[in-house]
């Protein structure tokens, strides 16, 4: 039997797991699979998936999900450091989460104190595929996900 060269024999194999086989979220952490987009099917669908992890074939996935949009609208005062930071975070989210800026308006405004400030109004749209509760397969998967989450919550803190 062939043996790898000595330097490689000492390295443990690096497992590469698909998204659906990643280890569970540590105790006390917010489950990222419910709120964060998952990009495993981005090349197939063109938009990320958001929701509980599911293992489905292409036809089943299309039959159990729907495209949904999240709209974010806000006016930012760029002289306020907190609002300027929030504006930068929204722009970063548009860039990183495959979002679309639908409306972008900049206006100079004078405050009551006489100081001039830049006001920016932004409307951004984020599209996702999500499980559809109106479709039988989507409803079943949502029920399965909520039951498994209830089991996790019920067993939290127990030592086996």
Measured CA to CA, the distance from residue 123 to residue 69 in angstroms comes to 12
Measured CA to CA, the distance from residue 117 to residue 111 in angstroms comes to 7
The pTM for the full model equals 0.60
**DSSP letter, residue 53:** -
Using only C-alpha atoms, the chain has a radius of gyration, in whole angstroms, of 23
Question: What does the pLDDT look like over 21-65, one tens digit per residue?
Answer: 554 544 444 544 466 777 777 777 788 888 877 777 777 777 888
Q: In what order do the strands lie in the sheet with 65-77?
A: 65-77, 116-131, 100-110
In the predicted model, residues of the chain with pLDDT beneath 70 are: 1-35, 135-139, 141-160
């Amino acid at each position: 039997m062939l043996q790898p060269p000595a330097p490689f024999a000492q390295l443990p194999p690096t497992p590469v797991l698909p998204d659906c086989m990643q280890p569970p979220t540590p105790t006390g952490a917010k489950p990222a699979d419910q709120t964060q987009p998952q990009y495993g099917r981005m090349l197939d669908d063109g938009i990320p998936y958001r929701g509980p992890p599911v293992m489905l074939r292409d036809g089943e996935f299309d039959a159990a999900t729907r495209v949904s949009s999240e709209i974010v609208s806000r006016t930012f005062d760029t002289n306020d450091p907190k609002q300027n930071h929030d504006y930068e975070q929204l722009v970063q989210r548009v860039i990183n989460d495959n979002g679309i800026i639908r409306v972008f308006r900049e206006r100079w405004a004078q405050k009551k104190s006489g100081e001039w400030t830049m006001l920016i109004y932004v409307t951004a749209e984020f599209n996702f595929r999500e499980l559809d509760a109106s479709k039988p397969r989507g409803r079943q998967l949502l029920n399965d996900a909520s039951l498994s989450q209830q089991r996790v919550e019920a067993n939290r803190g127990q030592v086996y």
